Amino acid sequence: MTELEKFQQYQWHQPRDKALSQLRQSAAEVCRRYTQQPTQGHQKKIWQLFAERGPRLWLDAGFSCDYGCNIYLGDNIYCNQNVLLQDVGRISIGDNVLIGPGCHIYTAEHPQDAEARRSGLTRGQAVNIAEDVWIGGQAIILPGVSIGRGAIIGAGAVVTRDIPAGHKALGNPARSTPLKAP
């Protein structure tokens, strides 16, 4: 099995592999060009990176991703400035999601054993964000996390665990509480 095939199946793989390095370099170049000149032509190239996307997507300058091919986006998504989707694993984002400036979503996992970690092996853990979620600026979502429908992630929160639907999560590590009805 090639490193690319292992990557595609979210298995332990070597990201230094030539094919994977080329994919990352290509995605980085597309993101860099869009940030320098957010023209419609460069926007179309970013959109082509994604595995799936809804018809309404807004990306502010500074958007970046590792590969793009593991990103699945619903409709009516807004990513503010300097958002990073580190998509070694699958990132699924539902409809009507707001992502604040400087947010980072991580999916890469590395071996916990130091000797194994030196090998550079990586694998992806999916992050799932349901519909109608609002993620405040500078929030960080860690690998393997799911965020339920209508949840709010506070600015600067570090989300280490799943957040249920209809909850807000604040702090580092983020702790969730039910949202109060208006």
pLDDT (tens digit, 9 = 90+) per residue, 136-170? 999 999 999 999 999 999 999 999 999 999 999 99
The pLDDT tens digits for 104-126 are: 999 999 999 999 999 999 999 99
pLDDT, residue 40, reads 78
The region, left, alpha or beta by phi > 0 then psi within -120 to 50, assigned to residue 132 is left
Q: Rounded distance, CA 161 to CA 10, Å?
A: 20
For the chain, the domains span 3-175
pTM given for the model: 0.95
The pLDDT tens digits for 65-96 are: 999 999 999 999 999 999 999 999 999 999 99
pLDDT, residue 182, reads 65
For residues 56-72, average pLDDT: 95
Q: Of 158, 17, 140, which Cα lies nearest the Cα of 85? A: 140
CB atoms within 10 A of CB 92: 17
Whether the per-residue pLDDT at 181 is higher than 80: the answer is no
The pLDDT tens digits for 4-52 are: 999 999 999 999 999 999 999 999 999 999 999 887 788 889 999 999 9
Tell me the CATH architecture of domain 3-175.
Answer: 3 Solenoid (2.160)
Q: Rounded distance, CA 159 to CA 157, Å?
A: 6
What are the distances in angstroms from CA 65 to CA 46, 52, 69, 90, 107? 10, 14, 9, 12, 11
Answer for the pair 89, 108: CB distance below 8 angstroms, yes or no. Answer: yes
Annotation marks residue 42 as catalytic: no
Candidates 13, 104, 110, 167; catalytic one: 110
Q: Is the dihedral of CA 11, 16, 22, 23 positive or negative?
A: positive
Whether the per-residue pLDDT at 127 is higher than 70: the answer is yes
Q: Is the dihedral of CA 32, 35, 41, 44 positive or negative?
A: positive
Q: Rounded distance, CA 172 to CA 9, Å?
A: 31
